[in-house]
A = this chain, B = another copy of it.
């Protein structure tokens, strides 16, 4: 089975590297071609265009930044849907709206190929450690066929959300909402603790050993304690001045006062 991978960013690269370890032939494409070179050095074949990548692959993974980028590489004469072979599978790993998944699945259907939504829970280091959680939705038979390839991406677990293709995207957005809510409340709590004169490190240590002993609280809590806001790579597209204002809000714990 020939595999294609498009989108060699922070998370795409380690996933493509995992696939390369167990795939006869991995085709890669990236808008910025230099990002594909390290994979080519490990044996992947760089394609000159999206159309070439699609036409050579049985299964194409895409991991691009947003809905517009995914639509750009999928639609049109030079896109994945028009160039993927009959019964080929497009596995979209991006965090996008469910409506985008539904419309792209329809487009693939018209071309006799398949679209599978596969949202990723896990950071680049989890991909390298093969401890990703994959949330999938779409045609059940197709999912069954490509399951070994999904496992080769570096999945520790695959969570199936049913045949409605946007379901995995809903689950991913609900998960992200919970992550960001936890980050905001931790930032408030850390600031409240410090303003009230107690050791916030000690508080978070206790909480992440007890009530909140979970990866989200440990990982992001630790970054918040160190005020290492930029190391977590949880990017939002926003104007720089807005991002800075948001960072200031977290830093200053706006809204919380000391307990007296």
Contacts and interface: CB of A to CB of B under 8 A. Distances in A.
Nearest to A203: B171
Given A98-B196, A170-B193, A197-B170, A121 B210 contact: yes
A233 to B, nearest CB: 16
A228 interface: no
Interface of A: 97-99, 121, 133, 135, 157, 159, 161-162, 164, 166-167, 169-171, 173-175, 177-179, 181-182, 184-186, 188-189, 192-193, 196-199, 202-203, 206-207, 209-217, 259-260
B215 A193 contact: no
A218 to B, nearest CB: 10
22 contacts: A97-B260, A133-B210, A135-B206, A157-B209, A159-B202, A164-B197, A167-B197, A170-B259, A177-B188, A177-B189, A177-B192, A178-B185, A178-B211, A181-B182, A181-B185, A181-B188, A185-B185, A211-B214, A212-B214, A213-B214, A213-B215, A214-B217
A231 B217 CA distance: 26
